[in-house]
Amino acid sequence: MSLFMVFSLTSSSFGFYQKKGEKEVVNITASEFNNKVPELVGKIIIITGTVENLGKNAAKVLFLANGSDNKIKVVASKKVTPFTEDLKGKTLDIKGIVKETIIDDEYINNIKNQKRAETLRKKLKESGKDHLSAYFIVARSYKVVE
């Protein structure tokens, strides 16, 4: 076993359990995430899900399938072993913090990609609300379950 592989295995499973003094950790499956996400913002969770694909910056972003059209975005913190293509299709336990991005007129006005800005503006208008929420998880650690 190479030194890199030992480091990867150690660093990806390190700190997976609740640490002393840490806020309560909520265990959740990817299929439950969408229904409970607003109440999970700011909380530490352990989510189990299958990696559907990796983002454009594969080392830092992956998406978990959750049984709907909405995938769960997971962003690697600086302390996490980078995500790699071999994770695609594997089931992971990911420990992280749920974050929310508020998408309102101010947020949209700061988007440089005009096509994306127009799409979000249309979605915001169709919603009838003053903002939309985009949720994601900042991963602190992960381990392959399967």
Give the model's confidence band at 5: pLDDT under 50 very low, under 70 low, under 90 confident, else very high: very low
CB 41 within 8 A of CB 96: no
- Alpha-carbon gap, residue 73 to 75, rounded angstroms: 7
Non-local CB neighbours of 73 within 8 Å, separated by 6+ positions: 55, 61, 63, 134, 135, 136, 137
pLDDT at residue 17 above 80? no
Domain 3-144 sits in CATH at 2.40.50.140
pLDDT at residue 92 above 90? yes
Average pLDDT, the chain: 84
For position 13, what pLDDT does the model report? 43
pLDDT exceeding 90 applies to what percent of the chain?
62
Question: What Rg do the C-alpha atoms of the chain give, in angstroms?
Answer: 17
Single-letter code of the amino acid located at 132: L
Comparing 27 with 68, which gets the higher pLDDT?
Answer: 27
- Alpha-carbon gap, residue 89 to 71, rounded angstroms: 14
Per-residue pLDDT reduced to its tens digit, 110-127: 999 999 999 999 999 999
Whole-structure pTM value:
0.80
pLDDT at residue 137 above 90? yes
CB 30 within 8 A of CB 49: yes
